[in-house]
């Protein structure tokens, strides 16, 4: 059994004296693990950093075996983010979420392309907003898409301000006001509306996607939210966006 595919490193852990077990997200073979001989050594350890792109050849005697990877570097991102703790935290979080959320050995080319696009966006000015949009697309890929197009109660597309934590549908400011303490804040950037409270919006976005990831993806697996994802959220303390900004 063997195949060659493009991959993004999600994680690597030492195995034995010098080998490593690498988890890759590949375009055609999904999330896939394999043993990399010498992967824990100085020569290959840098290549197997989360977020790096590789070309991987997987071989095994039987399809159900762990198998081995022979990897060649195809692009390094982790090193470029070492001096930016926030972007590095987003990189670590994205790789951890992809590893924990995607089923093993099940092709999800849209998830592969989405993660690749996010990795490119991490060097841009709106990297945090791109990260939140990526988690929304990840939920959609797994069958739990949010509906932010119109108010669930009235059908109106005006003044959307909240999201129902049960249905994942948007709620307008007027319809949601009596229940605002129980609703999730809908960040304006998801609707194309810029607001001055950027950190509050990012925090609200992370709380929004984190709620549905935990509810639909991790809780059914009896797992908590990945530690790297929690560390990213902790860097953006949640604060309610001022009402005046919500309406604008």
Residue (of 197, 193, 207, 198) closest to 238 by Cα position:
207
- Report the number of distinct structural domains present in the chain: 2
Yes or no: say if 25 and 115 are a contact pair by the CB < 8 Å rule: yes
Rounded Cα gap, residues 95 and 81, in angstroms: 14
Query: Looking at the structure, do residues 108 and 230 belong to the same domain, yes or no?
Result: yes
Query: Looking at the structure, do residues 19 and 123 belong to the same domain, yes or no?
Result: no
Q: Pinpoint the alpha helices (H) of the chain.
A: 42-45, 85-101, 109-121, 127-141, 173-176, 198-212, 227-234, 243-247
Percentage of residues of the chain with pLDDT beyond 90: 84
Q: Is 214 helix (H, G, I), strand (E, B) or coil?
A: helix
pLDDT of 196 strictly over 70: no
Residue (of 146, 142, 144, 91) closest to 116 by Cα position:
91
201-235 pLDDT tens trace: 999 999 999 999 999 999 999 999 999 999 999 99
Residue (of 145, 204, 146, 216) closest to 180 by Cα position:
204
pLDDT of 124 strictly over 70: yes
Of 49, 76, 103, the last residue of a domain is: 76
pLDDT of 243 strictly over 60: no
**CA angle, 55 then 125 then 110, to 5°:** 40
The domain that holds 22 is classified in CATH as 2.40.50.140
Q: 213 or 197: whose pLDDT is higher?
A: 213
pTM of the shown model = 0.92
pLDDT of 39 strictly over 90: yes
Query: Looking at the structure, do residues 25 and 44 belong to the same domain, yes or no?
Result: yes
pLDDT at residue 163, as a whole number: 98
58-70 pLDDT tens trace: 999 998 999 999 9
Query: Looking at the structure, do residues 37 and 128 belong to the same domain, yes or no?
Result: no
**CA dist 117 → 10, 20, 123, 145 (Å):** 15, 27, 11, 19
Yes or no: say if 202 and 235 are a contact pair by the CB < 8 Å rule: no
pLDDT of 246 strictly over 70: no
pLDDT of 149 strictly over 70: yes
pLDDT at residue 52, as a whole number: 95
Residue 175: pLDDT band (50, 70, 90) is: very high
pLDDT at residue 240, as a whole number: 52
Query: Looking at the structure, do residues 41 and 91 belong to the same domain, yes or no?
Result: no
The separation between CA 26 and the C-alpha centre of its own chain, rounded to angstroms, equals 15
pLDDT of 241 strictly over 60: no
- Cβ neighbours, 10 Å, residue 17: 8
SS (H, E, C) 162-211: EECCCCCEEEEHHHHHHHHHHCEECCHHHHCCCCCCHHHHHHHHHHHHHH
Query: Looking at the structure, do residues 130 and 158 belong to the same domain, yes or no?
Result: yes
72-95 pLDDT tens trace: 999 887 777 878 999 999 999 999
Q: What is the domain extent for residue 59?
A: 2-76
Query: Looking at the structure, do residues 38 and 154 belong to the same domain, yes or no?
Result: no
pLDDT of 247 strictly over 60: no
Residue (of 65, 12, 54, 5) closest to 29 by Cα position:
5
The domain that holds 208 is classified in CATH as 1.20.1440.120
Mean pLDDT in the chain?
Answer: 92
Residue 239: pLDDT band (50, 70, 90) is: low
Of 57, 76, 95, the last residue of a domain is: 76
Backbone Cα Rg of the chain: 20
Query: Looking at the structure, do residues 92 and 207 belong to the same domain, yes or no?
Result: yes
Residue 190: pLDDT band (50, 70, 90) is: very high
Residue (of 70, 67, 74) closest to 8 by Cα position:
74
Query: Looking at the structure, do residues 72 and 105 belong to the same domain, yes or no?
Result: no
């Amino acid at each position: 059994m063997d195949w060659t595919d493009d991959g993004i490193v999600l994680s690597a852990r030492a195995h034995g004296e010098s080998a490593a077990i690498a988890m890759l997200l590949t375009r055609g073979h999904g999330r896939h693990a394999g043993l990399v001989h010498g992967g824990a050594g100085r020569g290959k350890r840098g290549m197997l950093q989360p977020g790096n792109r590789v070309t991987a050849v997987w071989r095994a005697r039987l399809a159900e075996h762990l198998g081995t990877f022979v990897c060649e570097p195809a692009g390094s991102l982790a090193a470029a983010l070492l001096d930016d703790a926030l972007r590095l935290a987003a990189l670590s979080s994205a790789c951890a979420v992809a590893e924990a959320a995607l089923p093993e050995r099940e092709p999800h080319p849209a998830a592969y392309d989405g993660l690749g696009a996010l990795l490119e966006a991490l060097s841009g000015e709106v990297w945090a907003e791109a990260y939140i949009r990526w988690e929304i697309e990840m939920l959609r890929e797994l069958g739990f898409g949010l509906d932010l197009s119109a108010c669930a109660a009235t059908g109106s597309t005006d003044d959307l301000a909240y999201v129902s934590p049960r249905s994942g549908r948007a709620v307008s400011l007027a319809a949601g006001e009596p229940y605002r303490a129980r609703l999730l804040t809908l960040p304006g950037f998801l609707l194309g509306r810029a607001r001055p409270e950027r950190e509050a919006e990012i925090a609200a976005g992370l709380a929004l996607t984190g709620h549905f990831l935990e509810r639909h993806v991790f809780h059914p697996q009896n797992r908590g939210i990945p530690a790297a994802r929690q560390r990213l959220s902790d860097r953006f303390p949640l604060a309610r966006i001022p009402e005046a900004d919500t309406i604008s």
